[in-house]
Amino acid sequence: MKTVYTLLLLSSMFATEASGQSDNGEKPTIIFVHGIWADGSCFTHQIEQLQAKGYHVMSIQNGVTSLADDVAETQKAIDLAKGKVILVGHSWGGMVITQAGNDPKVVGLVYLAAYGPDNGESVLALSANAPQTELTRYLISSGGSVFISEEGVKRVFADDQSPQKQALLYATQVPAAHTVFDDKGGEPAWKTKPNWFIVAKNDKTIHPDLERFMAKRMNARVVELPSSHVMMLSHPMEVLKVIEEAANYKY
């Protein structure tokens, strides 16, 4: 009987580890942070799949008015979460999770073609570490905010998406305050917490070499996908797999 009990106990332990559950049986909460010219709905596929598997999920709707403001919005979601948290940031969202990830609840970080700044670095400073893309040719200023043009969505942002999806992305984009590109990050969470980085090999918004530079510096677990900048749309299952790997990691 003692042997049977031991086997049952071991089986339960392995099942808990495989499902990404914490010691109290709770799965980590997954919090998504979108980038500029996108919104929280761009993670719909991953959200639905994770919810079906029993995860608590939140997707932030950032105003992209400043790094501090977006970190504060993400912090509200972290405060609501029970137990451990995995932060997933796309593009500009990487700037946000690098700071918000310092919260003790956050155990892992997933970067999707995202910025991973060191202390005192801005988007502009980071971008100097690799060749420039053609992104700036397609940016339009209006009322202190920076939009991407419809042609820019088609050519450099979501060039592997259908015309219908491109039109939707253009219509629902969240522009950035023109000052955010100079906002500097503080002490980065990636220095102390496990992190994953998906490089978009066909990215025309953030140069793939810049993504590789950041991933290497962060000592991230790296996956490369033949994707445009919006990899969560073009390679939804591959992105989901990496998020689940982070959720299942033994912290």
Euclidean distance between CA atoms 206 and 157, whole angstroms: 9
Query: In CATH, what number is assigned to the domain containing residue 35?
Result: 3.40.50.1820
Euclidean distance between CA atoms 146 and 137, whole angstroms: 12
Euclidean distance between CA atoms 214 and 210, whole angstroms: 6
Which range marks the domain in which residue 44 is found? 26-248
Which pLDDT band, with edges at 50, 70 and 90, does 25 fall under? Answer: low
Residue 62 resides in a domain: yes
Mean pLDDT of 165-192: 97
Residue 21 resides in a domain: no
* pLDDT at 12 exceeding the cut of 70: no
Residue 11 resides in a domain: no
Provide the residue type at 188 as one letter: P
Residue 79 resides in a domain: yes
pLDDT in tens, 115-154: 999 999 999 999 999 999 999 999 999 999 999 999 999 9
Percent of the chain, pLDDT > 70? 90
Provide the residue type at 66 as one letter: S
Burial of 236 (C-beta count, 10 Å sphere; 0-12/13-18/19+): middle
For tokens 């990215």, what's the residue?
Answer: 203
What are the backbone dihedrals phi and psi of residue 177, each rounded to the nearest 5 degrees, phi first? -60, 140
Q: Rounded to two decimals, what is the model's pTM? A: 0.90
pLDDT in tens, 98-117: 999 999 999 999 999 999 99
Pairing of strands 85-90, 139-142: unpaired
Pairing of strands 57-60, 145-148: unpaired
Structural domains of the chain, count: 1
